[in-house]
Amino acid sequence: MWVWLKESWPILWPTLAAIGVILAVVPLLGLYMTFIERKLAAYVQDRIGPNRVGPFGLLQAVADGIKIFLKEQVIPDHVYTTLYFLAPAMSLMTAMFALVVMPFGPVPTDYEGGFRFVVQPGNDIGILFMMAISSLSAYGIIVGGWASNNKYSIYGAIRSCAQFISYEIPLGLSIIGVIAITGSLNIEKIVEAQSGSILDWNVCWQPLALLIFFTAALAETNRLPFDLPECEQELVGGFHTEYSGIKFVLFFLAEYTHIVTVSFLTALLFFGGWHFPGLPNPTGGTTLGMILGLAVLLFKVSMVVLFIILLRWALPRFRFDQLMGLAWKGLIPMGLVHLVGVAIVLSLGLPKHLLILTAALPIAAAYYSSVKFNASMGRWNALESGVRKTSAVSYE
């Protein structure tokens, strides 16, 4: 045992160190993302936001964490106790487990040399593994809704099941194009394929794939305007109506972990990851290059996170039929067209930047939808004015 541990230690300690970083940073990041979201909400709504605890309110997240741990654990009598406690743990475990193959910094080509910013480097099915694990996060919500034995929670769980199944399809279709052009499921290799200029970033020649991926990812994370499983106007709190205290926090820590995962994937798959023109290649092994690459990646991820948070205060929530229609009538057809375009480019050996022409699809779809909406509103206004005329009473 000791001999094996000694021989394996040069390979083992970087893995343990990466796991330690994830376990230490993700909960703290979840706390402070709530603080950032409250501050941004206050800015959008012309309020001050949390400012009482610590300088500029920076310790408010810590105070909230302490308060949550000290709250009484209320367990309703009507819940199925075992599954009731298991559901938040399932959500958080699947969210954290998906980070195993996620590079959170530059990964050197020499996987055995020193610390690396990933738990399992060089995984040749990294994207497939991450999508498989992420899809399991729906089980935590479904089990929580069922175990709560509450009609609002069950409605939220059913909505979540339908939503996850629907949006997994366009999410996969959007990534297939990137995988096909790169020729690998390895996330590090996909990033290295974008190591040239900005024109080599996937966003420059697959904007439609980015739009489909990001929209489907928002639905996968239950963020506005796709937070139908926890729609408070209709379902009180949705699948977590019966949860409070630390159990409630675990659900939201899982949600914020998904947001971080989506933000990292967006930066890695479409925005060049840790690469930026004019900077040295971070995977060359130099300390300065690694630091600059880490800063570049974290900056890109921060911009995506801020955009996701701001969307909450910019867009109204969809109705559930609109949510399903967007997936089956909008994103999936566009994803299939994009996939056909990728197949044509690869088969005929055409320049990959021709795929930028697919960006005309969402523009045409938006124009068509606006024309139909204006026509329907015109018919409604005509009908309403006709009703007013016929219902008018004459006193002559």
User: Domain limits of the chain?
Assistant: 13-391
> Quick one: which of 292, 141, 131, 293 has its CA closest to 228?
141
CA–CA dist 161, 141 (Å, integer): 8
* Full-model pTM: 0.86
329: DSSP letter: I
- Of residues 389 and 20, which shows the higher confidence score? 20
Give the model's confidence band at 299: pLDDT under 50 very low, under 70 low, under 90 confident, else very high.
very high
Q: Residue-wise over 261-282: b if at least 16 C-beta within 10 A, else e?
A: bbbbbbbbbbbbbbbbeeeeeb
What per-residue confidence (pLDDT) applies to 395? Answer: 45
For residue 375, with 0-12 CB atoms within 10 Å meaning exposed, 13-18 middle and 19 or more buried, which class applies? Answer: exposed
Return the structure tokens found at 2: 């000791």
pLDDT, tens digit, 9 for 90 and up, residues 30-73: 888 888 888 888 888 888 888 888 888 888 888 888 888 888 78
pLDDT, tens digit, 9 for 90 and up, residues 249-297: 888 888 888 888 889 999 999 998 888 887 777 766 677 778 888 888 8
CA–CA dist 240, 244 (Å, integer): 8
Q: Which residue has the tokens 């970083």?
A: 21
Question: 3-state class of 325 per DSSP?
Answer: helix
Expressed in angstroms, the distance from the first to the final Cα of the chain is 104
